[in-house]
Structure 1
């Protein structure tokens, strides 16, 4: 019961923000939840949010684990996704006839590339004790040049039906494919946590590495493992992004998405200095960010001003979610409860405590 209450308290912030955005959108127009069927696929504000946030949701999951275990953030995730997707595109374009088997093989090869990149960052952090943000700054700085070398600086196009269906919809299936792939990935992560002690190990290392070591948990291995998982998340996100676009763009693909991923972790009620975490909160946080972006567009904010409005919103959100504000509201709530108790105790109750009226 206590665990359930703790989980729900972590989700208060992301759910509250999402509900606020829903109210704003309903004020703008009551047709916000309208969904239409176009060429056999569902379209509307909600499906569009689920579709648009696919990559961010997957990257937020990996970022949550890295943050919880290493007490820092990986800022190279967008670049890593670009490199791994470049490997996927290179394989597909040189495979001749594009079949489902070729696509799957290319995807698995991109996951291997993601694991290599994750292992690079993970080694720097876990073995050489480099701060995560500094360690990942190496790939963040030079990674897109690596992607350029892989794709030949040509921004190659994926001109095949299978890639198009992966990035859009499969004939006869009303839900867009990236939404389905994201749901499958979330389900696999849920199974991983259900069948292993990964959550316990990550939280233990994040809270106190020395105590974890004394209890037989190797902090280096756990931190390294979270970066490997982050590498896979980057590869999956890159795979979805490149099939959505239908081409590989080494310059702009998932550019600066790491900032939204970090923000999704924070909105999800997770501490950015490690320890206990909520994957559910991060997922809701990712969808909330996508909803915020689309809400600003729906309010007809000029594209040049969207970042300003988003920054102001984030500042307000972070202040509200800060420990200082939380402690203040907690103390205020305790004072209110104490005042209510003292004003509602009947006089007869004083007799039972051994006190008598003079």
Structure 2
């Protein structure tokens, strides 16, 4: 019973942290959502239909919220941050559309993925549309520095996705290679989303760099927890079935640690499943893989690493004086990590 109470308390803490942030920048987020709806419009009816499907699928708008909160932390009083937050969300959504095609995913946040409904071709092309819309918003902002940050992030994300494709099914992947992938495909957009909050506020380089570090480390922690959740959460919590990454042959930290710590027999089993994709009894193979992760505490260590990067994100906020925005950004670190419980 004690564990149930503890989990309920942690869930409430997560919700409170997100609610604090939403209360702080809720008005700005309403404007972001208006811009998203406006800029999804197209005379080609399939574009707003498909884009709206994934954008309305229950995401928490975490990345644009980080842009809004970072601008608030830096004392920004203008309106540029709303368009740029929408730009960040378009980049993120475009990558989701493309990822689901690459991964052949049928679910996204608990509902049918866009590619499951409209097919791969439409999903890829609407993803391209959203990338193009994001660049229009960058150009409208008029800042070459903002354009440089967000265009660089888009490029790095694409590199990270290709790097993940290369390391897929390769049990020789090192922890360092894995971290390079998640820095690129996930954390880079977190970093850019936060950094541009300081740029629009015309803050000095140390503050801009601190927010970039905060976002980068928060993004790494976020992805580590996501990779942990694939082996621990129920489908309704994730919007996908447990073990999707395993079935797809993705080499994430829980697998890397299990392979490194396992016996020769354990490694031969993981190679068979992940490299050869030879799983005649998928449920039993997944259960055995999860037993190995429990035996070698790879899931616990994955969360410990997430906490480490969360601590580095919190340390980056030390550059700023105490304020409601700083407290909200600190709380979001806990929100991201405590999803593990």
Q: TM-score, normalised by structure 1?
A: 0.28
Larger CA Rg, structure 1 vs 2: 1
- Which structure is higher in helix share? 2
1 or 2 for the larger relative contact order (CA 8 Å, sep ≥6)?
1
Q: TM-score, normalised by structure 2?
A: 0.29
